[in-house]
Amino acid sequence: MRNLLVLATLGMFVLGSCESNTPETPDTPDTPDTIPVTGITLNESSVSLMVGDTWQLTAEIQPENADNRTVSWESSDNGTATVDESGLITAIAVGEAVITATVEDKSATCTVTVSEPAQNGNIDMTGMSIEEVRAAIDEALAAGFTELRFTGDFAALGISTTASPMDSSWIDNPLIGTNVEVIDLSGVTGWPEVDVDGLLDGTGSTATDGVYGLPAFTFSGLLDGEHTFPELRKVILPEEVEAIGSQALWNNPKLETIVCPGVKYVGNQCLVFCSSFNSIDLPEATTVYTYAFRGTALTAISLPKVVDIHYGLFMECSLTRLELTAEGDFTIHEDPLAAWGLGEPVFNFETASCELVLNADKHYGTGTASPKAASATNWFETEWGSITFTE
């Protein structure tokens, strides 16, 4: 009995000694997996740029807490458009390119269309051929610019310098039939010799008159009953232009004014039937040829240096004030038929409604220059509303 008790006690001791003495390790959470990219989108799917423009693309990665947020950028055609590591596009040349943004196996694209820069209406003809100038004009007009400013040599325009009633070469003008509204030639040089009196030589060809400027028929406004410059309202000439050629601007229905600070010779019929024409400054003009302003809308004009006047210059005008204030004798050319009591009067408009201003040297009492006024209301055998004499 005693032996059994000892064995039982020993067995319990052995069992107890077999239990682990290693302390328990507390539970730890599982380590999370990497969050993958599920998609990518761009702020634009397509853009249109002009050569030289830039555009910033931005990429949005889904989900927002994706681990990999590194975007790689690539252009399908670096000759058309490039893209840098931040997504900034630069337009290089006309064409189309696809920009691709990629993260892992996800991507998004943006199509880039590149065009030429918009025109601004300024055409520098320096070094250009006539054909290139014409192409530039067409491009500017197609872009919606109706006010064109030219610089360079006049010859680059390809405008005829020999046009006359017998020579229709003026119809090759590159601006004919367009909707141009303003033609600014103030930056043009190399002006040709022109015909201002409208007289032809013995062969019926243009006879130039030793003066330089806008050639005859340059912007002639009528061809086969159709207006050739239907929207033209203003022409600007540089100071070096000394003459407006014969019929250079006739019959332009919307032409309102010409800027011509250096013009000395206003050509035969140059503005005839320009029914909207109402303003012109001619500070240097000395000679005005036949029918120059016939049928225009002028109501007042100052000609401070004009001393050479041809008949019919204001025919069918509604002038209410005419200033002819140059000193010295005037040369007044009457209609060749006047000797037989025929032809047009020199001043054939409603002179009785017009105030005439003359230099005091033509005063009817004290004047010494010719033609001298006959009275306070009569000059050159014409009755005026009033005559004012100024120093």
The 3-state secondary structure of 91-119, one letter per residue: ECCCEEEEEEEEECCEEEEEEEEEECCCC
Residue 384, Cβ density class (10 Å: 0-12 exposed, 13-18 middle, ≥19 buried): buried
CA angle 205, 155, 244 (to 5 degrees): 60
- Position 17 scores a pLDDT of 43
- Position 297 scores a pLDDT of 98
Q: What percent of the chain has pLDDT over 70?
A: 91
Q: What's the mean pLDDT in 192-196?
A: 97
- Position 1 scores a pLDDT of 41
Confidence of residue 178 (pLDDT cuts 50, 70, 90): very high
Q: What is the pLDDT of residues 205-225, one digit of tens each?
A: 888 999 999 999 999 999 999
177 has a pLDDT exceeding 60: yes
State the average pLDDT for the chain: 90
pLDDT: which is higher, 18 or 175: 175
Confidence of residue 26 (pLDDT cuts 50, 70, 90): low
Instruction: Report the range of poorest mean pLDDT among 48-52, 332-336, 364-368.
Output: 48-52
339 has a pLDDT exceeding 90: no
Q: What is the pLDDT of residues 236-269, one digit of tens each?
A: 999 999 999 999 999 999 999 999 999 999 999 9
- Position 27 scores a pLDDT of 53
- Position 24 scores a pLDDT of 52
Distance CA 76, CA 368 (A): 86
- Position 32 scores a pLDDT of 59
Q: What's the mean pLDDT in 354-377?
A: 98
Q: Give the rounded distance of the alpha carbon of 130 from its chain centre.
A: 18
As a dihedral over the C-alpha atoms of residue 154, residue 159, residue 164, residue 168, rounded to 10 degrees, the angle is 180
Instruction: Report the range of poorest mean pLDDT among 153-167, 282-296, 348-362, 370-384.
Output: 153-167
Q: What's the mean pLDDT in 374-385?
A: 97
144 has a pLDDT exceeding 50: yes
Confidence of residue 9 (pLDDT cuts 50, 70, 90): very low
pLDDT: which is higher, 157 or 166: 157
Q: What is the pTM of this model?
A: 0.72
- Position 341 scores a pLDDT of 84
Q: What's the mean pLDDT in 20-38?
A: 63
Q: What's the mean pLDDT in 119-123?
A: 86
The counts of H helices and E strands in the chain are 2, 30
Instruction: Report the range of poorest mean pLDDT among 34-43, 113-122, 203-212.
Output: 113-122
Can you name the CATH fold of 39-115? Immunoglobulin-like (2.60.40)
Distance CA 78, CA 114 (A): 12
Domain with CATH 2.60.40.1080 in the chain: 39-115
Distance CA 144, CA 184 (A): 16
Q: What is the pLDDT of residues 46-64, one digit of tens each?
A: 998 888 889 999 999 999 8
Q: What's the mean pLDDT in 33-42?
A: 91
CB 149 within 8 A of CB 201: no
